[in-house]
Amino acid sequence: MGRSTKTKTNMRTHMVPTTPEQVLKRIMHDMSTHLRRSKETYTLTKELPKFPMVDYEELRRIVQANFQYLGVQIRKWKRDNT
């Protein structure tokens, strides 16, 4: 019996962040996506989200402030990514 050699393929379909800037971009994107989806769900079902009192803008400020400690230049990052 012959053994077929299988090549291992990379199945990743999304960016794997490696630098603090990329990690911050991924977190901000995920938060925006979650907020958009929860708003869409509310308009369709009128069902409140699991945590309706979460202030996403405040969460964004906290995350960005913490990434400043990792050396990310937040003002430059915002200009480039928002």
Residue type for 1, please? M
pLDDT given at position 70: 84
List per-residue pLDDT tens for the chain, 82 residues long. 555 555 555 556 666 888 889 889 999 998 888 888 888 888 888 888 777 788 888 998 999 899 988 888 888 988 888 7
pTM for the structure as a whole: 0.69
Domain ranges (residues) in the chain: 20-81
> What span, in angstroms and rounded, lies between the C-alpha atoms of 21 and 70?
9
pLDDT given at position 12: 60
Residues 23 and 63: beta-carbon distance below 8 Å: no
